[in-house]
Amino acid sequence: MKEFDELTTELISLVNIWESKLAGLDDKILSQRKNSQNRTIKQILGHLIDSISNNTHRAVHLQYQKSPFEFPNYASLGNNDRWIAIQNYQDDDWKVMIQLWKYSTFHFCHVVNHVDSSKLENEWIAGPGRNIRLRDMIIDFLRHYKLHLSEIDDLIENRV
């Protein structure tokens, strides 16, 4: 879908820039430095993987479910930290995590580039009184993605 070409091109560009940067990090930086949410780089990347996965599922569901669609908001009420803990990203294989993040991003871009434009106004219920259109969810994803990459960058540069 042409509407999101720039967005998906930028996501792919970010992956191409960040893949080697992430691969070059030593274990001390990955496991010891923590941000204001008490997350390590591995946990931040794990959260980003979760975000990619959840947004991919939303994009699919919002194209065939009745709108507004109720889909669990994994980030509500601190649940994203539960996801990080349950999946134990801190002890996961870093090289595998990088590849999962990379290819999940590529797949999300593929899904977004093939969204049915007639479904872009469909909404998911993100919480009480908070509905989000598919179009807005896709557009906001890039901001969210960059936010977490900047958190990782701050930890790499030891700016926290």
133 backbone dihedrals φ, ψ, rounded to 5°:
-75, 150
pTM: 0.94
pLDDT at 159: 72
What CATH number is associated with residue 17? 1.20.120.450
Angle at 131 between CA 58 and CA 65, to 5 degrees: 45
**For residues 116 and 62, what is the distance between their CA atoms, to the nearest angstrom?**
10
In three-state secondary structure terms, 127 is strand
pLDDT at 38: 84
CB atoms under 10 Å from CB of 65, counted, come to 15
**For residues 108 and 115, what is the distance between their CA atoms, to the nearest angstrom?**
11
Residue partners of 75: CB distance under 8 A and separation at least 6:
51
CB atoms under 10 Å from CB of 57, counted, come to 14
pLDDT at 151: 95
Q: Domain tally for the chain?
A: 1
Phi-psi category of residue 26: left, alpha or beta, with phi > 0 → left and psi -120 to 50 → alpha: beta
pLDDT at 160: 64
pLDDT at 72: 80
Token digits of residue 55: 């947004």
Per-residue pLDDT of the chain (160 residues; tens, 9 = 90+): 799 999 999 999 999 999 999 999 999 899 888 888 889 999 999 999 999 999 999 999 999 999 999 888 777 667 888 888 888 899 999 999 999 999 999 999 999 999 999 999 999 998 888 899 999 999 999 999 999 999 999 999 987 6
Domain that holds residue 54: 2-156
pLDDT at 77: 64
